[in-house]
Amino acid sequence: MRFLIRVIVNAFAIWVVSLITILQVTVTPYPPGEMVPLLVTLLAIGAVFAIVNTIVGTVVKVVAFPLYVLTLGLISLVINGFLLWLTAWITGFWGWGLALGDFGWTIVAALVISIINGIFNIILRPQRRHEHDR
């Protein structure tokens, strides 16, 4: 269930970023056409992005831990941009998916996606019950 929510939130965040034209992020639906292929493509991109973040992101973040300390966490912007670029590269093999512009704008797009994901994580986070609340 968590993965499905993550995919939907990622798809929404990527759609929002694609609407901001200055970020140079475009989504090419498969097959090119109306709204349903765009929705399915966004969900597929969201799934690829979630998998890339889970597998590659975890490994890169563990390996780059010293850089997190040295840069006070600012390296996370570059790493998130790299993960978004990797998602675009993977989905580009099939002739549909995510297309990105300059790497600088990719970092900004990844920052916007992270902010949107953070907002949804706060909203959708399950509330923990404490023992004294019962």
Domain count, the chain: 1
Q: Is position 17 within any domain?
A: yes
Q: Is position 8 within any domain?
A: yes
The Cα–Cα gap between 88 and 105 comes to: 13
Q: Is position 134 within any domain?
A: no
* Residues 81 and 110 sit within 8 Å (Cβ to Cβ): yes
Q: Model's pTM, two decimal places?
A: 0.85
The answer on pLDDT for 36 being more than 90 is no
* Residues 17 and 25 sit within 8 Å (Cβ to Cβ): yes
The Cα–Cα gap between 126 and 109 comes to: 27
Q: What is the pLDDT of residues 75-133, one digit of tens each?
A: 999 999 999 999 999 998 888 889 999 999 999 999 999 999 999 989 887 666 555 55
Q: What are phi and psi of 26, to 5 degrees?
A: -125, 150
Q: Is position 106 within any domain?
A: yes
Which residues span the domain enclosing 54?
A: 2-125
Q: Is position 130 within any domain?
A: no
Q: Cβ contacts of residue 78 below 8 Å, gap of 6+?
A: 107
Q: Is position 85 within any domain?
A: yes
* pLDDT given at position 32: 63
* pLDDT given at position 31: 73
Q: What is the pLDDT of residues 47-90, one digit of tens each?
A: 999 999 999 999 998 999 999 999 998 999 999 999 999 999 99
Q: Is position 62 within any domain?
A: yes
Q: Is position 84 within any domain?
A: yes
Closest by Cα among 81, 116, 91 to 26: 91
